Amino acid sequence: MKIADLVRKYEENFWDFSGVKKEGIHKIGKYPATMVAPMQYELLSILVSNNKSFRTLLDPFMGSGTSLIEGHNLDLNVFGIDINPYAVLLGEVKTHRYNEDTLYEMNERITKKLYSSNYVYEIHDFPNIHKWFREDIIKSLSKIRAIILEEENRWIRKFLWVCLSEVIYSHSNDRTSTFKLHIKPEKEIAAIRNNCLEVFEKIIKNNQEFLIKDTNPIATIYSGDSSKVLKKFADESIDIICTSPPYGDNATTVTYGQASILFLKWMNFKDLLGDQNLISNYSKIDSVSLGGNSSKNDLPNIKIAQKYISLLSESKRSKVIKFISDYYDVTAQLARILSVGGYLLFTVGNRRVDGIVQPLDKITKEIFLEMGLKEEKIFTRNILSKKMPSKISNVKNKGAVNSMNKETILIFKKEK
């Protein structure tokens, strides 16, 4: 049966997944604008059930690893790429097989050290640490950091860094109502309860219940720029490419890097994959991501994109051109590595630039068709449960910008 017919069997509002919350391993870590796991699972199930020979899945912008987990659940070997070291860490931990006895022994050691009054540790420091953390909380987090560093098993340390990130999320001076770093009012900072040790212990026990402990398919995680990493993949080597790509350059859309940087500043980078220079300042990750500072200012011959850019003011065009140029280059690589008979499954949103909607769904469709891919199904869903604040950020002379409330799902097939 055709994919379009299979998707059409569902009720129109089914894909909204009203009331759905993160469950199981998807609850581990803190990451903005994550994919809706049940939706991705349902769509992937349709593709896999209709193609019994499928074995591999790739997410070139894996973020928190949602599509990798759901690919695992369908017995696919999964591949993930992200430039953000924290996203890479999440992907590694969520797809790694952990030993239950090792986790139990770790718990015993951690709990004993956390509440030891004789435990000696070094106070951690980095530029502007006192802006983002209260003095007493710095001491508590430093104790946790020292305890993590003493763990001999690297995969245990990786797991514990993720747990620490959740403590940092709730105990930093950063407002969490936006993705960009913004300091809380003094009264709110003073009201933060310093229960870091107790919260860390609780998070460890909660999170380890969700870790994979049985045999699972292969997971290969890459850290870096997707356009460069994808060149390592052989032609027609991936059966399903499932992703929700950035909807624009990070600096003006979703600042994934800023949302992660305070976590990364507390971690030992030796336990992470990626370039340590990425955490040299608070906006570095976002500035080198898709459409960032080093991107080409060369617009591809995509008519819808050209028409859209012609509507923008001169000051806004450069960033959009850089993003679409990078987006086009990555998509060309994806079309190359997709197997004959394989599927591209994209979930995209249309942001606003200069108050004008950027038609990323139509731009994506035109790119796919230009690359010889066949349209199987395109449909929209209402965003009801995706972790998105109602306001993304403040725009000069226009105030806070409303976040998008719809997404488009594009399913395309490679036939030759």
pLDDT digits (tens, 9 = 90+) for 154-165: 999 999 999 999
Domain that holds residue 15: 3-85+215-257+270-413
Q: 359 near 308, Cβ under 8 Å? A: yes
Q: Rg of the chain over CA atoms, in angstroms?
A: 22
pLDDT digits (tens, 9 = 90+) for 23-36: 999 999 999 989 99
pLDDT digits (tens, 9 = 90+) for 34-79: 999 999 999 999 999 999 999 999 999 999 999 999 999 999 999 9
Residue 264 lies in a domain: no
290 and 409 in a single domain? The answer is: yes
Among 80, 83, 29, which Cα is nearest to 284's? 83
373 and 244 in a single domain? The answer is: yes
- DSSP secondary-structure letter at 313? -
C-alpha–C-alpha distance, residues 334 and 240, integer Å: 10
For residue 390, pLDDT over 60 is answered with no
278 and 341 in a single domain? The answer is: yes
Residue 366 lies in a domain: yes
Decide: helix, strand or coil at residue 380: strand
Residue 262 lies in a domain: no
204 and 230 in a single domain? The answer is: no
For residue 388, pLDDT over 50 is answered with no
Decide: helix, strand or coil at residue 384: coil
Question: Span 388-411, mean pLDDT?
Answer: 63
Give the pLDDT score at 391.
47
Alpha-carbon distance values, 231 to 237, 305, 331 (Å): 12, 25, 12
251 and 144 in a single domain? The answer is: no
Question: Span 270-293, mean pLDDT?
Answer: 92
State CA 333 to chain mean position distance.
20
Give the pLDDT score at 215.
80
Token look-up 């942001």 returns 351
Give the pLDDT score at 169.
97
pLDDT digits (tens, 9 = 90+) for 176-235: 888 899 999 999 999 999 999 999 999 999 999 999 888 888 999 999 999 999 999 999
For residue 361, pLDDT over 50 is answered with yes
Residue 92 lies in a domain: no
192 and 236 in a single domain? The answer is: no
Question: Span 76-96, mean pLDDT?
Answer: 97
* CA neighbours closer than 13 Å in the CB half-sphere of residue 118: 1
297 and 150 in a single domain? The answer is: no
- DSSP secondary-structure letter at 123? P
319 and 343 in a single domain? The answer is: yes
Residue 94 lies in a domain: no
C-alpha–C-alpha distance, residues 89 and 158, integer Å: 7
Share of the chain above pLDDT 70, in %: 95
Last residue of a domain, one of 208, 225, 244: 208
Residue 247 lies in a domain: yes
For residue 402, pLDDT over 90 is answered with no
For residue 294, pLDDT over 80 is answered with no
Supply the DSSP string of 188-223, one letter for each residue: HHHH----HHHHHHHHHHHHHTTSB-S----EEEEE
For residue 338, pLDDT over 50 is answered with yes
55 and 73 in a single domain? The answer is: yes
pLDDT digits (tens, 9 = 90+) for 102-143: 999 999 999 999 999 999 999 999 999 999 999 999 999 999
223 and 333 in a single domain? The answer is: yes
Beta strands in 257-416 (DSSP E): 338-348, 352-353, 356-357, 374-382, 391-395, 399-402, 406-413
Task: Please state, as a whole number, how many other Cβ atoms lie within 10 Å of the Cβ of residue 161.
Answer: 23
Give the pLDDT score at 77.
97
Residue 393 lies in a domain: yes
Last residue of a domain, one of 173, 189, 208: 208
Question: Span 70-93, mean pLDDT?
Answer: 97
Share of the chain above pLDDT 90, in %: 80
52 and 117 in a single domain? The answer is: no
233 and 358 in a single domain? The answer is: yes
Last residue of a domain, one of 171, 190, 208: 208
Please provide the average confidence, as pLDDT, over all residues in the chain. Answer: 92
Q: Give how many domains the chain has, as a whole number.
A: 2
What CATH number did the domain enclosing 235 receive? Answer: 3.40.50.150
Residue 317 lies in a domain: yes
Question: Span 84-110, mean pLDDT?
Answer: 96
pTM of the model: 0.93
